[in-house]
Amino acid sequence: MHFNETQFASEMMGNFSGHEVARGIVGGTVLGVLIALGIFMIILLILAVYVYFALAWSTIARKLKYKKHWLAWIPFANVSMILQLGGFNWAWVFLFLIPILGWIALLVLIVIATWRIFEKRKYPGWFSLSTVIPNVGGILYLVAIGFVAWKDKSSITKKAVRRSAYPKLRSTGAKKVSGKRKR
């Protein structure tokens, strides 16, 4: 029996032409490149969110005069730092090791701790509840920690006073008493 490569190739390929095979290879390559690009973009987004989170919490810790603000950059240690800033013992971070119930308990502790931290920075504590809102909660939480980290509440209050509804009251020294101006 004699082996013929051409006959073997035509039997294996069936009715496919060389162009169809080439299109399949190119199409597969393009699909592979798109998948790799998507994975790369997801990794880049996760990295950017992590850097933002760490910078924000490091700044918050510095403004609250926490000596180990660099813990914001270390996974799990950043959770212990948040717990300490909120008045809890750092050891509560070990609730990570207890599946489901431990994670829920730790989430509750983190929400309470961030509530306290936000109030220390003179922001509404309910900002911390954004972590438990489905779908948009993560984005709202990132915005909230950005405000708490980089926006001083006193500067917001001063701007609000400058834009008040009674600009003449500030300039003339008059006081508003029960809806009437008193001189």
- Residue 132: the pLDDT is 87
Contact 35, 27 (CB under 8 A): no
Question: Residue 18 pLDDT > 70, yes or no?
Answer: no
Per residue in 57-90, pLDDT (tens digit) is 999 999 999 999 999 999 999 999 999 999 999 9
CB atoms within 10 A of CB 46: 10
pLDDT in tens, 120-149: 999 999 989 988 888 888 899 999 999 999
Mean pLDDT of the chain: 82
| % of the chain with per-residue pLDDT over 90 | 57
Identity of residue 115: W
In angstroms, the CA 152 to CA 141 distance is 17
SS3 category, 67? coil
What predicted TM-score, i.e. pTM, was given to this entire model? 0.68
pLDDT digit string, tens, across residues 33-54: 889 999 999 999 999 999 999 9
Residue 133: Cβ within 10 Å count: 12
Helix axes 77-85, 18-63, angle to 10 degrees: 30
